[in-house]
Amino acid sequence: MQSGSVQGLGQLALQNTVNGSTQVTNLGLLAFANTLYANQLGSGTFPVGVIYAGTVLLSQLGSGQLPVGVVYAGTLNANQINGGDFTGKTFTGGSFVGAFFTGSTDISIPGSVALRTNYAKFEVSAVFDKGLYVGDPVNQDNSAAGREGLRCQVGYNVELLGSYMTLNSRDAANRATFWAEASGSNGNNHAIRGIRRNVKNGTIQSSGIVGQNGGFAFYAETFQGSTGYGPFTAGHEALIPKETAADVGMVLDDDELIAARDLGNTLLTTKPSSSARSPRSAGVLVSRRPLRDGVPAALIKEYREEGEGEDKTITPVLVDEWDDLCERYDLVVMNALGDGQVLACGRNGDIEAGDWLCSSDMPGIAQRQGDDVFRNYTLAKSRVGVTFDYPDQVKLVPLFYKCG
């Protein structure tokens, strides 16, 4: 069609070519021209439902839907874009359905953006309280459970500059809140390494490793002016019969062996000490809970791994006696090394700073040892002096544990 005007075509305009001097208006719902130019569209806007043009060259589209191959526009205002290539400078509102981004250039976002999927929401924000948010936009408790939020393939990493990361877990798929896994024989191939410097690129002040390649679960690398662990208190797990009474701060004795899984994992039953200078003193009670609420390592026979990728799970296989043990025992944690406190009485006199402490014949209560020799029943070393008004008075005494 040559120069002229095309108006009032109702439903269809079937011309193969509409040249640059022709004004096209009032096409209704469909336009089947191969090429449309901006000067052929009234006021630079083409407000129709669907455009079937191979290439659209104009400054603005105000259509509801644009299923075309390529769109070259300074600004594209549309509710939905399905398929094709999107080459432009600004995207305002609307949604990308099934979009795939390629190319070597950066995507710059001056404010914030949220990329949503059926399972999670990825939000990058310029405000100070949020850098990268990965979560479920609708039901944050359940619908995203077990799904991967952010995955980095081999050879890629995530870097936070001048920022921090906070992880929160809602019992998602019975997994740890943060799961780091490493494999390989390289000497520095650890699961997690944390380094502290005084300034950026400055001298390393301290370094700690979790899942160390040499076989340590935790490994502290110390440097001049730093120490390995602090504050330092170490403890053990034990099983205590459900009917046995014991208060926090009491001295506990080893009783019977329950499990010995390997060189690093044993588990015994325990009870409050009941005799003076007991050589079986194992620690001081810190906490107590039902055994089902915590699984001691000594009661795990092996780990069963199933699935791959986002569906991978690692489940502990427990000893055959697990259910019976849960019916009979609670799980306790007792301090055995480092700094802390213990309940002590005055049955062997007042305590001076530096005195050795041991169990007494008051159930679960410590006392002054009475000499300056470290013995097989020595429980702890007092850090302060304590006076008692009468022999059976009980007080908390700050100390260094020495029994475990």
Among 172, 195, 230, the domain boundary falls at 230
Same domain flag for 197 and 285: no
Q: Give the pLDDT band of residue 173 (cuts 50, 70, 90).
A: low
Nearest to 356 by CA among 368, 346, 366: 368
Among 310, 332, 354, the domain boundary falls at 332
For residue 351, being part of any structural domain is answered with yes
pLDDT tens-digit map of 70-100 = 554 445 555 555 555 555 555 555 555 555 5
Same domain flag for 217 and 250: no
Q: What percent of the chain has pLDDT over 70?
A: 56
Residues in the chain: 404
Lowest average pLDDT, out of 12-16, 188-192, 281-285, 392-396, goes to 12-16
Question: For tokens 């009474």, what's the residue?
Answer: 245
What are the tokens at 30?
Answer: 């469909």
Same domain flag for 316 and 342: no
User: What values do phi and psi take at 332, rounded to 5?
Assistant: -120, 155
Check whether 227 has a pLDDT greater than 90: no
What are the tokens at 292?
Answer: 């089902």
42/280: higher pLDDT? 280
For residue 122, being part of any structural domain is answered with no
pLDDT of the residue at 151 = 59
Check whether 165 has a pLDDT greater than 50: yes
For residue 192, being part of any structural domain is answered with yes
For residue 99, being part of any structural domain is answered with no
pLDDT tens-digit map of 310-322 = 677 788 899 999 9
> What is the amino acid identity at position 9?
L
Into how many domains does the chain fold? Answer: 3
Same domain flag for 249 and 321: yes
Measured in Å, how far apart are the chain's first and last C-alpha atoms?
96
Q: Residues with Cβ < 8 Å from 227, sequence gap 6 or more?
A: none
Strands (E), 178-328: 192-197, 204-210, 218-222, 233-241, 251-262, 265-272, 281-290, 300-306, 313-318
Same domain flag for 314 and 365: no
> What is the amino acid identity at position 375?
R
Same domain flag for 293 and 226: no
pLDDT tens-digit map of 128-144 = 444 555 555 445 444 44
Q: Is 241 helix (H, G, I), strand (E, B) or coil?
A: strand
Check whether 335 has a pLDDT greater than 80: yes
For residue 110, being part of any structural domain is answered with no
Q: Give the pLDDT band of residue 258 (cuts 50, 70, 90).
A: very high
Q: What is the mean pLDDT of residues 3-31?
A: 49
Same domain flag for 292 and 312: yes
pLDDT of the residue at 174 = 59
pLDDT of the residue at 150 = 58
pTM of the model: 0.63
pLDDT of the residue at 161 = 62
Question: For tokens 């170490």, what's the residue?
Answer: 234
Other Cβ atoms closer than 10 A to 360: 27
Domain that holds residue 188: 180-230
Q: 251 has which bridge partners?
A: 284
* Distances 25 to 43, 74, 167, 383 between C-alpha atoms, Å: 10, 22, 56, 93
What are the tokens at 287?
Answer: 């906490």
Q: 204 has which bridge partners?
A: 197
Check whether 56 has a pLDDT greater than 60: no
What are the tokens at 354?
Answer: 């530096």
Q: What is the mean pLDDT of residues 354-381?
A: 97
Q: What percent of the chain has pLDDT over 90?
A: 38
Q: How far is it, in rounded angstroms, from Cα 402 to Cα 43? A: 87
pLDDT of the residue at 253 = 98
Query: What is the longest distance spanned by two Cα atoms in the chain?
Result: 116
Asked if 66 and 83 count as a contact pair (C-beta separation under 8 A), the reply is: no
For residue 1, being part of any structural domain is answered with no
| Listed ranges 1-15, 157-171, 210-224, 252-266; the one with the highest mean pLDDT | 252-266
Backbone region of residue 383 per phi and psi (left: phi > 0; alpha: psi in -120 to 50; beta: other values): alpha
Check whether 371 has a pLDDT greater than 70: yes
Same domain flag for 325 and 285: yes
Q: Give the pLDDT band of residue 163 (cuts 50, 70, 90).
A: low
State CA 168 to chain mean position distance.
Answer: 6
For residue 322, being part of any structural domain is answered with yes
pLDDT of the residue at 268 = 98
Q: Give the pLDDT band of residue 224 (cuts 50, 70, 90).
A: confident
Check whether 296 has a pLDDT greater than 90: yes
Q: How far is it, in rounded angstroms, from Cα 232 to Cα 223? A: 18
pLDDT of the residue at 315 = 87
Q: How far is it, in rounded angstroms, from Cα 166 to Cα 164? A: 7
Q: What is the mean pLDDT of residues 116-139?
A: 49
Find the radius of gyration of the CA atoms of the chain: 36
For residue 315, being part of any structural domain is answered with yes
Q: Give the pLDDT band of residue 229 (cuts 50, 70, 90).
A: confident
Please provide the average confidence, as pLDDT, over all residues in the chain.
75
Same domain flag for 187 and 209: yes
Check whether 25 has a pLDDT greater than 80: no
Check whether 307 has a pLDDT greater than 70: yes
pLDDT of the residue at 169 = 64
pLDDT of the residue at 94 = 56
Same domain flag for 225 and 269: no
Nearest to 206 by CA among 219, 191, 223: 223
Same domain flag for 210 and 225: yes
Among 332, 361, 389, the domain boundary falls at 332
Same domain flag for 303 and 346: no
Q: How far is it, in rounded angstroms, from Cα 361 to Cα 396? A: 17
Q: How far is it, in rounded angstroms, from Cα 399 to Cα 355? A: 10
Nearest to 25 by CA among 44, 11, 6: 6
pLDDT of the residue at 213 = 82
pLDDT of the residue at 144 = 46
Burial class (CB in 10 A: 0-12, 13-18, 19+), 273: buried
Q: Residues with Cβ < 8 Å from 69, sequence gap 6 or more?
A: 54, 55, 84, 85
Check whether 275 has a pLDDT greater than 60: yes
